[in-house]
Chain A
Amino acid sequence: MLPTEPIGSIPRPAALIEGVQDFRAGRISQPELNALYESAVRDTIRSLEATGSPVITDGEQAKDSFATYSIYGLENLSPDGVPISFADGHIRNLPRLTAGPFRYKTPADVYLEVAQRYAHVPLKQAVVSASALSLLYPQGGIRGYSREQYLDALVAEQEGEIRRCLKKGAHVVQMDFTEGRLSIKLDPTRRLLHSFIDLNNLVLERFSAEERKRIGVHTCPGADRHSTHSADVDYAELLPSLFELRATSFYVQLANEPNRTRVLKMIREHAKDEQRIFVGVIDPLNPRVETPEEVRDHVLEAAEYIRPDRLGTTDDCGFAPFSDDTSRTRQTAFDKIRARVAGTALASAVLDQ
């Protein structure tokens, strides 16, 4: 059976979204909000396990967003950081660091511990990449806290976060690297991309080869609502550099690529022998649920370019990377995951023959 894993997020239940708004307005207390989080995690895990997925996540139910969960609530941040423009016109602003020192407030292993109370199958834990958080540091600098000091602290924080997730038993830790293609949009010279890769490798190199077998990297053009921030950037600009990352597993958005065979050829050309490629076979942006047969065909197509012992399947992206994203329903997400699992099993049966 080919391995199959989700990316991470699942749309939050309406009760939780309302609860978060109530909490921000002072209408409910922190314990009441925590109870809503816990309930959403429990329900999400139960539903994910029901899809038959051999590896699950907590659906990122308690995360504010995939990018800011670890820093949400820090006092040395202001909301007017780097703006990320999406193709449909909406903008998400990253926070901006206003003072040092920098520390995570809620690292991913805290979420993992909660999920472990309810999970009966292996749990995967997503963490945001150091390169994404490198954008928090303002261009004008911070008096008394240099960019080097910030990056040093950031790398140490992420090492600690990943190490604790591994130690606590995460099946795999997935580094979300959605800003790869975006960086090319910001800097066509690709110098920014190379800095991103180098920074993430500074984190990855702190782990042994054995530990890195349980560390993966996810890339996609940043899905939010019904849109992406960098799908217009040619994959060819990113893929050769992507596989320079010293991770073992790569979760690559593919289902909604207009020319999949071209991307698969690039993966075959650039991925290293020891790297496993989880190809995206589900498009979270498309409300239509794929059939298992469609998934099977996508997998078999990928197997023509990637050896089955190096192949796995995944979703193109999380289903709600930002907590307030209601553009998809939970049921659609679970149905799509069920199709991925079933379709992967069908493809595995064909490949085993």
Chain B
Amino acid sequence: MPERREAYEEILGRLNRRLRTLYQCTGALFQAESEQELLQSICEILVASGEVRLAWIGYCEDDAEKTVRPVARAGYGLDYLERVKTSWGELETGQGPVGIAARTGNACWVDDIRTDPRFSLWREVALARGYASCVAVPLIANGKSAVDLRGTLNLYSAERNAFDEGAIEHYTGLATSVAYAVTALRGSLAEDLAHGVTALRASAERKRAEEALHQAREELAHVTRVTTLGELAASIAHEISQPLAAIGADASACLHWLAADRPDLDSVREALAAIVKDGHRAGAVMTRIRALLARSSVAHEPCDLTGVIRDVLLLVSPELGRYGTVLQTSLATDLPPVMGDRVQLQQVLLNLLLNAAEAVRKVPPDRRRLVVRSTVERREDGPWAVVTVEDAGVGFKEEEAVRLFEAFYTTKPGGLGMGLSISRSIVEGHRGRLWATANPGHGATFHFALPGAP
């Protein structure tokens, strides 16, 4: 009776080990993220179970020798695989259990490596590493599957007769599961790549849309600049015609003096100097206008904001003068340079000044005044330049405040309603902020703040 009980316990222990092995292998089948990882895990689990001394998986190659190439291995005496050659062909190297299992699709085992003639070719090397019996089970996926998989799972035990019918059934079932898992993993290549390419495509489309939007904004900003300059046409014409008229008068005077018997050369020299000065003045106006009309790409570079303000004031001063509007300035002397596009920043200020000029046009003359200020704000991230345009004009109602910067919102008859919207997008494109406040008495103040250049 004790012998029978011992035998039962041994069988129970073996079944327990196989169940535990199967449980661990199942985990690997579901968790492995690559084919290589799966095959290696299976070999390691089988060796760790204590039932086998060496476990390896080989794939069949269609080369001339019909090699069975080891692709995963674990256990004792791994150099065994470097010392021996196995094949699934009809040659001598294909007559062992590995070759037979691969060729026939059926498990093949050797109960005693010492005596089985089928193992004679590898016997010496195997015995030297303590292998006493072995089994090879096929690892095959074919049929309707797209995956071309042919190989074997090979196990070596330190005990003779280690692989009984139950063990062979156990390992054959496991090999079938591994083949299915390999099929699934290879199939996921298409899934993984499709996912990656789709994400990349979405990113490319997003970038393209952003570039198109950016370009549309630039074009819109250009159109708005041209439109704004159109509004200034009368003042600009006046600004240019004045020096041209002076040039004409001075040139006539020169001709008159030069016609005399004794020309008054001092007067001629003085008149010519005036002609040069007036020519430069008209040229400067043209240069400023040409810059605003240009459709150049946006270039962010260190930019002197005080210079920007002075340029714009020169452009709008004649327009203000036409309606008797008084312009006052209070410009900081220590304004930090900002990173920005000079033309775009001129556009913002020009837009604010022309809005303010229009706002004061219909109010009593004593309120027709604008104040342009620049100040420095010290913030945690460094100095910021703040520019404000203040008027005492018609102002805006509280409910209008939120809509002022919306595209196509305007309170001006015939206005497009794009000026403030574009100005805000320009300022935000410079990492700055543009906002408006109602003055306590009359009118409104528009502010924009830009970070100083690093």
Contact = CB atoms under 8 A, between A and B. Distances in A.
A151 B194 CA distance: 11
Interface stretch (A85-93, A162-170, A344-352): A85-93
Given A89-B62, A90-B63, A140-B34, A186 B200 contact: no
Interface stretch (A195-203, A253-261, A328-336): A195-203
B64 A139 contact: no
Given A140-B37, A186-B146, A198 B197 contact: yes
B128 interface: no
Contact of A187 (B64, B148, B190, B195): B190
Nearest to B189: A139
A138 B146 CA distance: 20
B190 A141 contact: no
A152 B196 CA distance: 9
A139 to B, nearest CB: 4
Interface string A174-198: 0000000000011111011011101
B190 A192 contact: yes
A147 B189 contact: no
Contact of B197 (A88, A185, A199): A199
B33 A140 contact: yes
Contacts of A22: none
Given A140-B37, A186-B146, A89 B193 contact: no
Interface stretch (B180-188, B235-243, B403-411, B428-436): B180-188
B35 A139 contact: yes
B61 interface: yes
B63 A89 contact: yes
A147 B190 contact: no
B215 to A, nearest CB: 15
Contacts of B146: 185-188
Interface in B161-195: 185-195
A82 B34 CA distance: 11
B203 interface: yes
B169 to A, nearest CB: 31
Interface string B419-442: 000000000000000000000000
Interface string B21-54: 0000000000011111100000000000000000
B201 interface: yes
A152 B186 contact: no
Contacts of B186: 186
A137 B34 CA distance: 11
B188 A139 contact: yes
A195 B64 CA distance: 35
Given A139-B34, A151-B200, A202-B200, A189 B63 contact: no
A187 B204 CA distance: 26
Contacts of A85: 61-62, 148
Interface residues of B, number: 32
A80 interface: yes
B200 A199 contact: yes
A326 to B, nearest CB: 16
A269 interface: no
Interface string B247-272: 00000000000000000000000000
Given A151-B196, A195-B197, A139 B33 contact: yes
A80 B34 CA distance: 12
Interface in B193-250: 193-201, 203-204
Most B CB contacts (10 A, CB to CB) among A137, A140, A205 go to A140
Contacts of B196: 134, 137, 147-148, 150-151
B307 to A, nearest CB: 38
Contacts of A306: none
A202 B64 CA distance: 41
Interface in A95-141: 134-135, 137-141
A155 interface: yes
Nearest to B202: A148
Interface in B109-153: 146, 148
A192 B33 contact: no
Nearest to B185: A139
Contacts of B64: 89
Given A89-B62, A186-B189, A205-B204, A147 B195 contact: yes
B62 A88 contact: yes
A297 to B, nearest CB: 35
Contacts of B201: 198, 202
Interface string A3-34: 00000000000000000000000000000000
A140 B34 CA distance: 5
Most B CB contacts (10 A, CB to CB) among A88, A90, A139, A196 go to A139
B38 to A, nearest CB: 9
Contacts of A139: 33-35, 185, 188-189, 192
Contacts of B194: 191-192, 194-195
Nearest to A196: B193
A139 B189 CA distance: 7
Contact of A192 (B63, B66, B193, B195): B193
Contact of A138 (B34, B63, B199, B203): B34
19 contacts: A80-B36, A134-B196, A137-B196, A139-B185, A139-B192, A147-B196, A148-B203, A150-B196, A151-B200, A155-B200, A185-B146, A186-B190, A187-B146, A191-B191, A195-B193, A195-B194, A196-B193, A199-B197, A199-B200
Given A80-B36, A187-B146, 4 more contacts: A82-B189, A134-B196, A186-B190, A199-B193
Interface of A: 80, 82, 85, 87-91, 134-135, 137-141, 147-148, 150-152, 155, 185-189, 191-192, 194-196, 198-199, 202, 205
**What 5 A-B pairs are tightest by C-beta distance, nearest first?**
A89-B62, A140-B33, A140-B34, A192-B190, A147-B196
